[in-house]
Structure formats: structure tokens, C-alpha cells
Structure 1
Amino acid sequence: MPKRVLTDRFCAHAKAADGQLQTDYFDTTKKGLALRVTKDGARSWTYLFTLGGRRVRMTFGTYPATSLAKAHTRADEARAALEDGRDPRTALAKPATLKAICDEWAEREGAGLRTGDDRKAALERLVYPILGGRPIGDIRRGDIVRLLDKIEDDSGPVMADQTLAFLRRVFNWHASRDDDFRSPIVRGMARTKPKARARKRILVDDEIRDVWDALDNAPDLPICYPRYIRAILLTATRRNEASGMNSIEFDGDNWTIPGERYKTKLDHVIPLTATVKALIGDKPEGYKGNAWFIFSTTGGALAFSGFSKAKRALDAEIAKRRKADEREPMPNWTLHDLRRTARSLMSRAGVQSDHAERVLGHVIGGVRGTYDRHEYLDEKRDALARLARLVERIVSGRPTVLTLQRVAQGAVGS
């Protein structure tokens, strides 16, 4: 173990001693610090110390990426940790980021959660770009508030509260494992009242017409977006289920969403009506692959994913049209509201409740759910055909059955 005063000049030209695979040059000015040089010329910083009666070696980094001055600083920090009774390997470890802690929680606690994929997608879209790279111990209450403000403005208060609930769960889990961490989340951060978190928003007829018209006229929408939005409503699917629609999932007039990307983790079959098949269209011109994403901005190679930007452009067009007509602004709505709207419209179109629930892929409980293995494809096909016809009447401005009933009731009452 050669000892000497380490200088930048020496560190830059140091070589392993003859016949050795590696040589540690200990710095006489910083006890325990050494420059390790391998036979191949690689240089790294090590620190040798005693902990619990055992000799322990830790690495600081490589030279010259970690300079001599920085290595001296790290050695001083390690010595200070030892004097405080702490393990330098833990005390000097790089602080864990929020993303790293979320990933660790998902691996240890979140495996198998039914909503795991949805949560991961929400974090990647809404949280990681802003706070994902920050050390979790540096995140303050104000950071959480500003994050929730942005999510509320862009995606609505319910999404903000869903994100808050997940972050609270991760922070509390991390606090139970770390002596020094305290969660920055406190009561009062939620953006909605408990009863309001169970969303009930559906689009009324005028709003459906506004969406349809705006899809045809908004200047900044991706080319696939009008077809994509209409498909969500006409298939009563969730946002990611529709965006991931791939030609390989088609079998004749049926679309099977595989269980690995469906919320219930079960395959879900959706009969394709003529209206939806028209939205699907043909194979993109020039695409060479055997399978392609139906809604894509890359010619079928990748599924559409620019949800927030496209939704803002659509909302801006709706707002412009309503202002021009001197109407009130359209209340905030989300893409998931289209699925809830589809369910309501099926009831209006006379679809049996049981059949409508199966269109949505809801699991039927009790004895019936256990023993009734009929796939209800014909019933679901009829339900979706009724939905398509009702939507066509709404967007064309023709009276619906419900409108005619109200007119008749008004005439009788007069």
C-alpha cells in the first residue's frame, strides 16, 4: 500500500506497480483515501475505514470525472459520518429520486394491482417530467401544490386527486422505511370533495355535437385524432384501450382487447359496427409491417399518445365556437367521460342494462357471473349498433326518440 501526497499531476499519470493487477495509492493528507489504478490504466477513488470492528472499502467514483478536490471533500464527508456513528456508504449515497422510489414501491408493493398500468402511465405523463428526477427528500409541500395546480388545469381536479392519492401512498410507504423522511403531503390538498371524486359527468347532446363539429374544424389536431375520439364513444372504451387498437387484435368483425392491456386483466371482445369499421379504415399506405396501430401519427408504427396537447386544441376549438354563438363555455370534460356518455346513450337507445354493462367489460358478480359463460356477442353487437344510430341522430341534429317523447308529452299537457 504505497503512500504519498496525491496531486493532480500524479493522478493523471499514475500507473499500477509492475506485476500488479491494481495498485492503491493512499493519500497521506486524507486518511483512508486512495487512488486505485488498474493494469489497464483505469483510475477510481476508494475510501478505507473501520466499522463495527471490520475493515470496509467504498468507492467514490472515477478519476478524472471525480476530481482530486472532490475526492478530498467526499473523504471529509465520510469521516464526519463516521464520527456521527453513521455508515458512510449510506450517508454519502446519492439521494433516491421520486421516480426511483415509485419504481421500488411498484416492485415491492404494487405488483399485481389492477390499476398498476394506469398509475404508471399517469406518473410518466403528469409527474415524472416535473418531479421524477428530484431527490424525494428535497420535495416540499409547495412543489406538490404546484404540481397539482398544473394537473388540475390540464386534466381536471379528479385526475389531480387521483395523482395525489397515489403519491400519498408512496410517500407514506417510504416514510415507514426511512428514519429521516417525512411526507410533504398534508390534509387539505385535495381538489374535490369526496362525493365529487366519483365522476358523474356525461356529455349532453349539444356537447356531443360541439365535440363532433370541433373535431372536423380544429386546425391543430393530429390527423388520427378525430377518428380516435369518435371510436372511444362508439366502442365505450377507455383512452389507452382505444389508442392501442392494433390490426393484429381483429378477427373478422370482432376486436379483442388482450387481457394484458385491459383493466380487468381478461380478454374483452368488442363487436365492430359498420361505423367503427369505417373509422378503422385500411392499412396505412406505404406501411411494410404485418400489424399496425389504427390510431397513429407515425404511419401505424406507434400508437397515438399525445393526449394532453390534442385535447387542449380540441377544447380551444369548442370554446371558440361557443363564444361565436354567444353560448356559455363548455364545462370541463375528460376523455373518460365519453365512455360514461356511451353507457348513458345505450340506456336511451333501449339497450338492456345487463347487455350495456357487458359492452363496457364490467364483471358480472354473484352466481350469474360464476356460471353464465355466454359471450353475449350478438347482444353487444346490437347494443353498439343502437349506440351508433343514436349518436348519428344526435350529431346530425335530427330529433331523437327521447326528444320526440318530450314533444308528445308537451302537446298532451297543453
Structure 2
Amino acid sequence: MFTDRQIRNMKPEAKIRDIRDGRGFGLRIKPNGTKIFFYGYDSPVTGARRFLTLGEYPGLSLEAARIKHASAYELVKSGGDPLETAQQEQADLKAAPTVKELGEDYLKRHAEANKKSWLEDKRILEKEVFPTWGRLKAQEITKGQVIALLDKVVDRGSPQTANNIFKIIRKMFNWAVKKDRLKTTPCTGIDMPAPLKLKERALSADEVKTVWHALDTGMNLSGEVIRAIKLILVTAQRPGEVSGMHTREIDGKWWTIPSERAKNGKAHRVPLSPLALEIIEECITQNKIAREVPDDQEYVGYIFPCPHRAKDKPIERHALSKALKRNESGDGLTVLGVASFTPHDLRRTAATFMAESGEMDEVIDAVLNHAKQGIIRVYNQFKYDSQKQAALESWARRLTNILTGTQSNIVPMQPKVP
């Protein structure tokens, strides 16, 4: 039987030399010194003589070569042909999707149809995953490669981005397994690369005042982004719902977020306070000027149109986060003069101030369009429109007092709930 020492000492000759070890296992030595393990056998399928390459020594160790030979030998004994099997596996691998092909299919067939945040999935795959894995076969991605990709993002100082990447690629691979595009997922047994960030940031009154005035100075922000960020704070609605606001959704002092844009899939009526209407009117005025709409005609379109895209597209929700990120300090600890925050933190800030003012939890949940839980989800269909209107108008007055540094002696009346 072969030994490592024996194989190392075998010298090449002028012609190819095959040395047998037993049961068809052998070593081929080429004139250039290359040493290749092989398995020679008679195919039980065709009867033809077969030569199956197992691998090159020392890249393939003697022990590993024996294991591969034993597997092929048992397959022949059971009536199979390992060479045909290997050729079929190679053909399957060649036809298998690359990570980029699988990712694009996942976006088209799953994310776009089922996730309101599918554009974020697309952005992360295109920026963080495809450049590294795009040309690799999806079925060859290993657990180690997943960990290496995530560790690289953590090491560059973006742990929460690493978490988001992992959530998306885990979902993509799980979807591929469910659709029988892959047999297994390389994400099995991998934990989140970084501790989950608690979503509890709410700005203080002083921070709200600082941020608002910083927005008024312009900073490194476009007018659309500035007004969208303000409107999130004033209305307490989700950043993506605000950024996609359209004139057709506004009727007088009410803004109706359609079901297809609402996170919980339910249409949501938002009362617009005088401060909210003022911001919206400013947007419309600027849009009329930018679009050269005659004074005697109404502006119809997105309240926050993207200046860098087609006119019928709004700014993306992610553009708000990126805008704040651009204004962070070098150490990433402050933005616009206060401790770092996200657009969604402004929604939480508004809810926190409403709670401090004595608004009932049910009313705040109604303002935020949170889905009802438990039995109340079935039996409580009350919409709280008047209560929402009172709460948001009270919050607008409180916000104005914060910005101007004045105090109001008016205590808002709480409407009775039937």
C-alpha cells in the first residue's frame, strides 16, 4: 500500500507512469512531476473501462484520496458509475445559479412581491454581497465564507449593517432551499454578527430644538430631505410612508396612507396639524417652481420627489438615513449637533412626547398605526380619528413651544372614548 513517504520519493520518467495500489486505486506520475490519484474500473452500466481522476497530490492527501476511492468503489459495487456521477455533478454545477443570479431571482420572485422594504434588500445585495460573491455558484458558498463576509463588515465599524446583511442573505438562502434551488443553506448555525441595537432612542426637548434649527441652516441636506425629516417628527409616521407621500393621498386636513404603503397592510388616516400642513404647502410651492407649474394650476405628484431620478419617483426612505449619516461627526457619535439618531427615532420621539402629555396608549398606537394585538384586534375596530387629531395638534403646539422657547398654559382636553 502507498505511503506518503513512498509517494514523495517517486520520481518522474520520460513517459507517463501509472502505479497501482489495489482495487483500482492508483497514482499517475507525469513527466513534469505532477502526481494524480485515480480509480480505474469497469463500468457496471456500459462495461467500458473507466478512469476517474480523484485529485492531485499533495493538494489531495493520501488519506483523502483513499476515502474518495472507497466511496467510488462502493458505488461501482452497487451498480453505479462514479465517472458518470461526477460528470453529472459538474454539469449540474455549471447550470447552477451564481449568487448574483440567485439574488436577482429572490428579489423578483419573493422580496418585491412580499416585502415593502425590498429596495433595501436590493441595495444591500448590490453593495455588500454581489461584489464579493456575485460570480460564485450559490451552492458552493460555505459557512466560513458567510462568517468572513460578516466579520469584514463588523471590522470596518458597521456592526448593524452586518446584521442587516445577514438577515437578507439568510432569507435569500432559506427561500432558495424552500424553492428547491439549493439543497442546504450556509447560514445554518450562524448567530447575528453583532448584538442587536435596542430601538429606544428618543430625542430630548433640547435635542429637538437643536436638530430643527440645524435643519433650517441647510447643512449637507437637500430641501426635500429637510422637510421630510421635519414631517416625520410632526406627524409621527414611518420614514418610508412620509417619503412616499403623494398629493392624491391628501384631502384637506387628512392624509390617508394607502394599504399598499402601510407597514401593517391597513390604510391609515393621519390628521394633519397646522404645522404639518405648513411643511406640506412649502413642499408643494417648491415643487411647482421646480416643475414650472402655472400659478392657476394645482401641483399633482409626490410631495418629496427625488431630484436625481425620474419626476414620477419619490425620494427613497433610505435617502433620509444616508443624509443624516453624511452629517455625522468623524467618530459617528453626533449628528446635527446631538447624539446620533435615525429618522425612525424622530417618530419615537413624537410618541414619547405624546405619552408625556398624558395621551392614552390606545390613542398613541392609533396615531402610529400599530396593529392591535390579541382579542382587541378582533373586537376593537374603533378608529380614534378625533382622538388622533387632538393628540397630533397638541403635539404640534408642544413642538412649536419647544422650538420658540415659550411655554403654553393651555392643557389639551382629552376626548372621551365611547
Match of 2:106 in 1: 104
Match of 2:323 in 1: 310
What is the rounded CA distance, in whole Å, between the counterparts of 2:181 and 2:380 in structure 1? Answer: 49
What is the rounded CA distance, in whole Å, between the counterparts of 1:380 and 1:369 in structure 2? Answer: 18
Deviation, structure 1 residue 266: 0.8
* 2:236 corresponds to 1:225: no
CA displacement 1:232-283 (0-9 Å, x = unmatched): 1111111111100000111121111111111111101101111001111135
Match of 2:396 in 1: 388
Deviation, structure 1 residue 396: 2.5
Match of 1:166 in 2: 168
What is the rounded CA distance, in whole Å, between the counterparts of 1:370 and 1:321 in structure 2? Answer: 43
Maintained 8 Å contact 1:218/1:314: no
> What secondary structure, in the 3-state scheme, does the structure 2 residue paired with 1:262 have?
coil
Match of 1:124 in 2: 122
CA displacement 1:277-310 (0-9 Å, x = unmatched): 1111135223569631111243963211233431
2:116 counterpart letter in structure 1: D
RMSD: 3.5
2:169 counterpart letter in structure 1: L
Q: Cα 1:125–1:392, aligned 2, differ >3 Å: closer, same or farther?
A: farther
> What secondary structure, in the 3-state scheme, does the structure 2 residue paired with 1:240 have?
helix
1:107 counterpart letter in structure 2: R
1:351 counterpart letter in structure 2: E
Q: Cα 1:227–1:179, aligned 2, differ >3 Å: closer, same or farther?
A: closer
Q: Cα 1:85–1:180, aligned 2, differ >3 Å: closer, same or farther?
A: farther
1:295 paired residue among 301, 304, 308: 304
Q: Cα 1:381–1:180, aligned 2, differ >3 Å: closer, same or farther?
A: closer
Deviation, structure 1 residue 199: 1.4
Match of 2:201 in 1: 201
Match of 2:193 in 1: 190
* 2:363 corresponds to 1:355: yes
CA displacement 1:306-355 (0-9 Å, x = unmatched): 33431123334994875xxxxxxx43321111111111111122222211
Q: Cα 1:266–1:191, aligned 2, differ >3 Å: closer, same or farther?
A: same
Match of 1:92 in 2: 94
What is the rounded CA distance, in whole Å, between the counterparts of 2:326 and 2:182 in structure 1? Answer: 46
1:142 counterpart letter in structure 2: A
> What secondary structure, in the 3-state scheme, does the structure 2 residue paired with 1:117 have?
coil
> What secondary structure, in the 3-state scheme, does the structure 1 residue paired with 2:229 have?
helix
Q: Cα 1:162–1:175, aligned 2, differ >3 Å: closer, same or farther?
A: same
* 2:144 corresponds to 1:144: no
Match of 1:262 in 2: 262
Match of 2:382 in 1: 374
Deviation, structure 1 residue 226: 1.5
What is the rounded CA distance, in whole Å, between the counterparts of 2:98 and 2:321 in structure 1? Answer: 29
Larger gyration radius, structure 1 or structure 2: 2
Deviation, structure 1 residue 362: 1.3
User: Which ranges in structure 1 are unaligned for 5 or more consecutive residues?
Assistant: 1-51, 54-79, 323-329, 402-414
> What secondary structure, in the 3-state scheme, does the structure 2 residue paired with 1:229 have?
helix
1:129 counterpart letter in structure 2: K
> What secondary structure, in the 3-state scheme, does the structure 2 residue paired with 1:261 have?
coil
Deviation, structure 1 residue 395: 2.4
Maintained 8 Å contact 1:273/1:384: yes
> What secondary structure, in the 3-state scheme, does the structure 2 residue paired with 1:255 have?
strand
Task: State how 1:211-222 maps to structure 2 within 5 Å.
Answer: 211-222=211-222
Match of 1:41 in 2: none
1:314 counterpart letter in structure 2: N
Deviation, structure 1 residue 107: 3.4
TM-score (norm 1): 0.63
2:130 counterpart letter in structure 1: G
What is the rounded CA distance, in whole Å, between the counterparts of 1:112 and 1:320 in structure 2? Answer: 35
State which drifts further: 349-358 or 272-281.
349-358
Number of residue pairs aligned between Structure 1 and Structure 2: 306
What is the rounded CA distance, in whole Å, between the counterparts of 2:170 and 2:99 in structure 1? Answer: 15
Maintained 8 Å contact 1:144/1:185: no
CA displacement 1:87-122 (0-9 Å, x = unmatched): 6642322642246247438736x7975xx222x232
Match of 1:71 in 2: none
1:339 paired residue among 339, 347, 351: 347
State which drifts further: 213-222 or 136-145.
136-145
1:90 counterpart letter in structure 2: D
What is the rounded CA distance, in whole Å, between the counterparts of 1:125 and 1:308 in structure 2? Answer: 13
Deviation, structure 1 residue 365: 3.3
Maintained 8 Å contact 2:218/2:226: no
Q: Cα 1:147–1:291, aligned 2, differ >3 Å: closer, same or farther?
A: farther
Q: Cα 1:185–1:392, aligned 2, differ >3 Å: closer, same or farther?
A: farther
TM-score (norm 2): 0.63
1:97 counterpart letter in structure 2: V
User: Which ranges in structure 2 are unaligned for 5 or more consecutive residues?
Assistant: 1-44, 47-81, 410-418
Match of 2:73 in 1: none
